[in-house]
Chain A
């Protein structure tokens, strides 16, 4: 295997990894703040992907532009899902809260996945824009335009989230709630509202990731589990609390996958990331809270 080939592979891995980071950012935020492990996060990615796909198919709206619509839509869906479902675990202690949220997420994942099959058939879909095949070539290395767009989008979205969490009152309230929900109440934060907003932001981020998946790759109703696992792996790798860290964790996972694919073949790249996941879990059996 030649060096340029390996570098090309790693570049693809990095571009895909940025998407993993974006998908994980929402899961990380929701888990960190609400202690809700939403295993239907991947299904939210899937739905975001379909939203952009249908906007493109019906109105020709550019997928990157459609983010302006799909993210608010997913934010609204997030509000609904939290109020309808996950709000029921808010009063539980941490351990049963995580466990019950996982179970609710599991039921939700099944329901959403099969609802999507019912509505949109099990077919594989992908957004084919005029520039879908376009590439930028630099010193013999190929950069597909849509995936570069995905990288930029992911970086911008995560930077925006980071600034929101650092600079705004609501963002600080979200961080404060994640550190000590009782103390948060004692300074006057309505933590139920914080939970709601954090969950909805998580859904909006998942939706954005879905848009990027539908344009750079492809979607079908069953991709949810895979994306949930990817996001979980990144969260375990990167820990909670830092969004730039999550983006880096995603890129690291992308690199690991593409690197291993180059060495032992693409069929096992998923296995590699899952093994990494299990190893990290074993080293940190107390869970994902190791900061």
Chain B
């Protein structure tokens, strides 16, 4: 089978671009020693993972999970405690993912009895229960022991976040190109129709949720590995959910590139605005989010595509 040379060239181009970006990111710590840049790069990677993990459920099945912070928080909690207790960080991280996975499966069965907006507010309530409980049960600040702080390097955190972001994007790509992924997309379009054509909607939703919560738990683990001190409640804050939503929607929910673009955009704007005023970025992102929901369901990705299509009206494309 022969492909038109244009498609081959485009595919090679995309592959080349991806390799280049990954290469640059991989050698970034060699290129610069500036901690502010590394910090930003770390945050971009963390937010890519966070937003993609949310996107795994919303993008593939259309379910709006407003309790995503619960899984991020659970991952962070497990990682922090195992790590401080002497386990190797990678073991702790793995445990974060496993716990978030199991947690997701346990709450998934009852939660998916709820559909649409009810699933959203149900998960929101669940995460709030966890946040309040975490704040009550562990009110004290979690600070690393001094010997841990002595061995702290930002570069290792950066590589961990980068590795996780790559794994996350690759998993979602693989999911998108699998049979199961197609079943999920079918139920996103029309749940009843998908069920009628033999898609086991509950199993597909559970699988998407499992992928989503596992990745969220891992992201939480990286967060717990990164911060020197924080309140346990912080990792359960609804803002993790909200950030994931903002990034995924503004970038383009249901796409692979959208949340990546969204994460870069989010971290950069937040950084720029943080110098002027603390929470202003959330005001802007809140408004941008509304704009996307009302006028631009495809997010930035769709906007870019539209702009590209503009110069050639009547070019036959859609």
In the complex the two chains form, what is the Cα distance from A152 to B87 in whole Å? 59
Contact indicator A107/B129 (Cβ below 8 Å): no
A263 to chain B, nearest CB (A): 15
| Contact count band on A | 35 or more
User: Would you list which residues of chain B between 252 and 295 have a CB under 8 Å from chain A?
Assistant: 277-280, 282-283, 285-290, 293-294
Please indicate the chain B residues that have their CB under 8 angstroms from the CB of A111 in the complex.
282-283, 286-287, 290
Tell yes or no: B144 within 8 A of A by CB.
no
Chain A residue at minimum C-beta to C-beta distance from B293: A103
Contact indicator A107/B289 (Cβ below 8 Å): yes
Tell yes or no: A55 within 8 A of B by CB.
no
Q: In terms of DSSP, what is the predominant structure of the interface of chain A?
A: helix
Please indicate the chain B residues that have their CB under 8 angstroms from the CB of A268 in the complex.
132-133, 136
Tell yes or no: B37 within 8 A of A by CB.
no
Contact indicator A104/B117 (Cβ below 8 Å): no
Residues of B within 8 A of A (CB): 64, 66, 110, 113-118, 120-122, 124-126, 128-129, 132-133, 136, 238, 242, 245-246, 249, 277-280, 282-283, 285-290, 293-294
The 6 closest A-B pairs by CB, nearest first: A111-B286, A110-B286, A107-B289, A107-B290, A114-B283, A285-B113
B254 to chain A, nearest CB (A): 14
Most chain-B CB neighbours within 10 Å: which of A114, A229, A267, A271? A114
A189 to chain B, nearest CB (A): 26
Please indicate the chain B residues that have their CB under 8 angstroms from the CB of A98 in the complex.
116-117
Contact indicator B294/A110 (Cβ below 8 Å): no
Contact indicator A110/B283 (Cβ below 8 Å): yes
User: Would you list which residues of chain A between 238 and 274 have a CB under 8 Å from chain B?
Assistant: 267-268, 270-271, 274
Tell yes or no: A166 within 8 A of B by CB.
no
Please indicate the chain A residues that have their CB under 8 angstroms from the CB of B122 in the complex.
278, 281
In the complex the two chains form, what is the Cα distance from A232 to B122 in whole Å? 10
Please indicate the chain B residues that have their CB under 8 angstroms from the CB of A107 in the complex.
286-290, 293
Chain B residue at minimum C-beta to C-beta distance from A232: B121
Contact indicator A274/B129 (Cβ below 8 Å): yes
* B279 interface neighbour in A102, A117, A285, Cβ under 8 Å: A117
A27 to chain B, nearest CB (A): 11
Please indicate the chain A residues that have their CB under 8 angstroms from the CB of B246 in the complex.
110
* A109 interface neighbour in B110, B113, B285, B286, Cβ under 8 Å: B286
B90 to chain A, nearest CB (A): 34
Contact indicator A106/B117 (Cβ below 8 Å): no
Contact indicator A285/B125 (Cβ below 8 Å): no
Chain A residue at minimum C-beta to C-beta distance from B107: A278
Chain B residue at minimum C-beta to C-beta distance from A109: B286
